[in-house]
Amino acid sequence: MKASILLCHNNKGIHRFAQRFGVTAYILHIFFPAKPVASNLTKEVTFIMRTIKLGTSTLEVPVIAVGCMRINSLSKSEAERFVRTALDEGANFFDHADIYGGGACEEIFADAIQMNDDVREKIILQSKCGIRKGSFDFSKEHILASVDGILKRLKTDYLDVLLLHRPDALVEPEEVAEAFDTLQSSGKVRHFGVSNQKPMQIELLRKYVKQPIVANQLQLSITNATMISNGINVNMENDSAIDRDGSILDYCRLHDITIQPWSPFQYGFFEGVFLGNDKFPELNQKIDEIAAKYNVTNTTIAIAWLLRHPARMQPVIGTMNIERLKDCCKASDIYLTREEWYEIYRAAGNVLP
């Protein structure tokens, strides 16, 4: 499989999304061989994917990030089809981590997409490092070694984005700054971010790191929305008013750091999905009702709920199911009303003060 992608600006059919979200939207024209055999015939399929700027960078990214944590559960042909479908849908941003499958997920992805210089120019690669067995490690030595391993497995010379994966209690921000400088000057990493960090942890890094922090990957879903709830319940004596994250949502908006919600369909800490779950009858009834209105699936509405927030988030979807992947991407085309957003929020058991 070999794909070429042409990005075209200013299509009238997507102006309304650009105006509502203050973003640039692209149409992706994707060309694939009609047959995997020697043939000059091609077919053209056009899909729309809304894009945003990643943090303060100039990097335009699709509003849906494709998480590759479970790509090692697919066969070679399944992985190839999955990656091709993502590109067909305009989702050319792929999220990795050095610990996913012990590194195997990055290797499988590179093989599935048939990585070469031409392919590399048409995709956006993000990976994460810092988690080790039984510990976290943000030392300069570990960061540099991790990136070298990531690049080797992905068969590329550079990462578009590197995230520090969960906070390291023993972090020396001066070492992180040295590592980032080395990676940037060598061309191995173009943009930097964090994962699961609170405002003061980011501020500590920013004291020493000169590169902008463009993204923060955080757990967030309709049922795991404490970072939203504590802002709604200010000055209230209830559990929802407890600030567990240092107002990270407002902090990221103030500093133009893109929030990348992970596990957007999960409740608890990997306890399961809330869609179609008997534990959430009212929520599923409301989501299904709104999905029917827009003629989409419940999966689409769950992602659209995150995209409706004005923080301009980029959800990281982890599904390896082709149809669910397509449903997630359709959320780019859905703009929930304020009333619908709050109806879903309340149906998840959240009470407005």
Does residue 25 surpass a pLDDT of 60? Answer: no
- Catalytic residue (choose from 100, 251, 267, 345): 100
Q: What is the pLDDT of residue 43?
A: 40
Show Cβ contacts of residue 100 under 8 Å, excluding neighbours closer than 6 positions.
68, 69, 71, 72, 106
Active site residue 100: yes
Per residue in 170-210, pLDDT (tens digit) is 999 999 999 999 999 999 999 999 999 999 999 999 999 99
49 part of a folded domain? no
Q: What is the pTM of this model?
A: 0.87
Mean pLDDT score across all residues of the chain: 89
pLDDT digits (tens, 9 = 90+) for 201-248: 999 999 999 999 999 999 999 999 999 999 999 989 889 999 999 999
β-bridge partners, 42: 33
The answer to whether residue 44 is domain-embedded is no
Asked if the model's pLDDT at residue 1 lies above 60, the reply is no
Which band of pLDDT confidence, cut at 50, 70 and 90, is reported for residue 334? very high
Give the closest residue to 212 by CA, choosing from 192, 226, 229, 195: 192
Tell me if 1 is assigned to some domain.
Answer: no
Domain around 156: 55-347
Q: 21 in a domain, yes or no? A: no
Residue 16 lies in a domain: no
CATH number where 174 lies: 3.20.20.100
Predicted confidence (pLDDT) per residue in 73-83, tens digit: 999 999 999 99
What angle do helix axes 140-154 and 104-112 make, rounded to 10 degrees?
30
In a domain, 18, yes or no: no
Is the residue at 17 inside a domain? no
Q: Please indicate, yes or no, if residue 116 is contained in any of the structural domains.
A: yes
| Residue whose C-alpha is closest to residue 95's, from 279, 283, 262 | 262
The number of domains in the chain is 1
Residues 6+ apart with CB under 8 A from 267: 221, 223, 224, 273, 274, 277, 279, 280
Q: Can you give the pLDDT at residue 47?
A: 60
How far is it, in rounded angstroms, from Cα 87 to Cα 123?
9
